[in-house]
Amino acid sequence: MKIDTLFPSKYLKSSDIEEAGGELFGTIKEVGTDTMPDGANKAVVAFEEIKPLILNVTNKNVIKGLYGDETDLWKGKKVLLYTAEVSFGSKTTTGIRVKDEVPEAPF
């Protein structure tokens, strides 16, 4: 059993993508904010097929580059998510990234 299965999350984790074979396609349902357990409000992208993604600046910029800065127009748009080694403070960890191209997905 993988240890991450003992710590379920309502948000997408890099381990979810790795377990799916390294990539996940998603159709954007909506973009909004959600309050995290520490009280912080964060941007969240909800998808039709998979768990929501907490949106960081890097992924926001990629989606904005693909589909523009009006999040209402992102609805129905498709993205490809993958994992990559990223810097988080002074550590390197596995993070989620949005591929910088409109996917040709088997939807």
The CATH number assigned to the domain holding 35 equals 2.40.50
8 vs 41, residue with greater confidence: 41
How high is the mean pLDDT of the chain? 92
pLDDT in tens, 49-89: 999 999 999 999 999 999 999 999 999 999 999 999 988 78
- Please check whether residue 105 lies inside any domain of the structure: no
What is the pLDDT at residue 106?
63
pTM of the predicted protein model: 0.88
**Total domains present in the chain:** 1
Beta-sheet pairing, 91-98 with 53-54 = unpaired
pLDDT score of 44 more than 90: yes
Vertex 46, ends 92 and 42: CA angle to 5°? 55
- Please check whether residue 29 lies inside any domain of the structure: yes
Q: Look up residue 27 and give its amino acid.
A: T
Domain that holds residue 43: 11-98
- Please check whether residue 106 lies inside any domain of the structure: no
- Please check whether residue 103 lies inside any domain of the structure: no
- Please check whether residue 5 lies inside any domain of the structure: no
- Please check whether residue 42 lies inside any domain of the structure: yes
What is the pLDDT at residue 105?
57
Q: Binning pLDDT at 50, 70 and 90, where does residue 1 land?
A: confident
- Please check whether residue 90 lies inside any domain of the structure: yes
